[in-house]
A = this chain, B = another copy of it.
Amino acid sequence: MASSRRRKLTRSEYKIQADELREQLVQLQLALKRAPFKVMLIIAGPEGAGRGTLLQTLAEWLDPRGVETFSWHPPTTEEREHPHQWRLWRDVPAMGRIGLYAGSWYTETLREEARNKRALRHVAEEAERIRDFETLLVDGGTLIVKVWLHISEDAQGRRLRTLRADPLTAWRVTNEDWHHHRLYRRLEKTAALIRRKTNQPGVRWTTIDAEDERQRDLDVGRLLLARVAAHQRVIAKLPRAAAANPVALRPRGLRRLHALRLDQEMSETGYDALRDKWLGRLSRALRSAFNTGRAVVFVFEGWDAAGKGGAIRRLTSAADPRDYRVIPVAKPTPEEKHAHYLWRFWRDVPRDGRCAVFDRSWYGRVLVERIEGFCREDEWRRAFDEINAFEKELTDHGVIVVKFWLHISHEEQLRRFREREATPHKRHKLNEEDWRNRRQRAAYEIAVGDMLALTDRKNAPWHLVPADDKRFARIEVLCTAAKQIEAALAD
């Protein structure tokens, strides 16, 4: 805060410095266009610190084609009917762009606190969610710059009075602003709490003195410049992703996989009766879930040709086509590849009372991406925790998460590959990649084992399905799905 003792900048001094800074910022944006990361600049602070005019200055300095501006509004019905993080993921800038946050959770929390003291109780809880979200983005390579504009009580009063005196700006000063001014000291404390709770390595707050408007704008512009330049150097030094022979992190997962009895079978007549029974139970359970506003997410993972598609079709025949959506997960599109790996799945998280069936899923991060070296080791290692946190967001909101691993033996897979080759309308299902994955069976088994060991949680458990016999597997899926949903509803 030493800067508050600096003398005020004159207009011409400001002009010279601003022009120089603008040129640097524009050069920065040109470099950023090709950089593999995104920037989020969050401006928070009390009323009268000039968040609005600062953002307008930045909008003037920066090339608007590389900027996105986001606001913070009360959640819409659609947003309330999704897990909390869903709306946060909507407001993330595209790769190589700078997102400016005209409002944010931080400032809104201050407002709420001014309205109602009890809001403070929720600050700790909410701060944790925000911290988790920011960590997720920062770990994924995003640069988050958080600026807190500081203004003294006296200066705040002066600023509000000046705004009120000018007919052009008088409308900007609301009764709420004066109320905030009267609560200056209490809100200062809340602000300090918010900053402390959300200050962490890689996402620290920078406090900027906002008393001199010109100096404030220059300071923020220079901070942005310095942080982006430093981040570019960090990103450039990251090791490249590479495939390596996998070593199991948790051997017990692999043991669980190998212990599964694949010789379980079911006769055709037995199948018909059980299918009808469990389809009925499942359809009733799903309707209860939907009627009480619970969403259901099914995750299907398994070996190529393990019968995911067939199992999904039987499962969905228990639901009204208007209530569910099957999401086949293929290689990411270029747009998706540039985003955080969880982003595209957040997009498809169902709202309350709906169902999403994922045919492959976010587990690709710790399976194919790990084995093929599509991401760095630190990335897939971190993903186990990230995925657990993601699924917890879902189940905390009331979403029922049912996960299946469809397991077949190496021999049965070969038999099915050969059958696909021989059946004209199935031939398209098989390609060179499937054969390549097959040759990597041992490596994938290690990855599957770690996945089972590290992401099998009470709120979102893994169900291993012996699938060498298709009838047996399908009944297992129907019965497990029905039981898990019934249990979740009974809780």
Contact = CB atoms under 8 A, between A and B. Distances in A.
B102 A56 contact: no
Contact of A69 (B30, B325, B425): B325
Contacts of A56: 313, 316-317, 321
A168 interface: yes
Nearest to A54: B321
Contact of A321 (B55, B73, B321): B55
Contact of A78 (B65, B78, B317): B78
A7 B284 CA distance: 36
Interface range on chain A (Cβ under 8 Å from partner): 35 or more
A69 B321 contact: yes
Interface stretch (A190-198, A247-255, A327-335, A361-369): A327-335
A436 B276 CA distance: 70
B19 A313 contact: no
A246 interface: no
A320 B52 contact: yes
A167 B276 CA distance: 9
A202 interface: no
Contacts of A330: 65
Contacts of A231: none
A339 to B, nearest CB: 12
Interface in A172-188: 172
A283 interface: yes
A326 B19 CA distance: 23
A102 B69 CA distance: 36
Contact of A76 (B26, B51, B78, B424): B78
A280 B167 CA distance: 7
A322 interface: yes
A23 interface: yes
Contacts of A168: 276, 279-280, 283
A102 B171 CA distance: 50
A59 interface: yes
A304 interface: no
B77 A171 contact: no
Contact of A322 (B103, B359, B425): B103
A22 interface: yes
Nearest to A334: B334
B425 A26 contact: yes
A26 to B, nearest CB: 5
Contacts of A317: 56
A328 B65 contact: yes
A82 B429 CA distance: 41
B321 A359 contact: no
Given A102-B322, A321-B56, A322-B103, A328 B287 contact: no
A71 interface: yes
Contact of A326 (B25, B26, B64, B323): B64
Question: Which 6 A-B pairs have CB atoms at the shortest separation, nearest pair first?
Answer: A22-B425, A23-B425, A102-B321, A71-B322, A23-B424, A64-B328
Given A69-B326, A167-B276, 12 more contacts: A26-B425, A29-B428, A52-B320, A56-B321, A59-B326, A60-B313, A63-B428, A64-B359, A69-B325, A72-B322, A103-B321, A168-B276
26 contacts: A19-B424, A26-B425, A29-B428, A52-B320, A52-B321, A56-B316, A56-B317, A56-B321, A63-B428, A63-B429, A64-B359, A65-B328, A65-B330, A69-B321, A71-B322, A71-B323, A71-B325, A102-B321, A102-B322, A168-B280, A168-B283, A171-B284, A171-B287, A172-B320, A334-B334, A335-B335
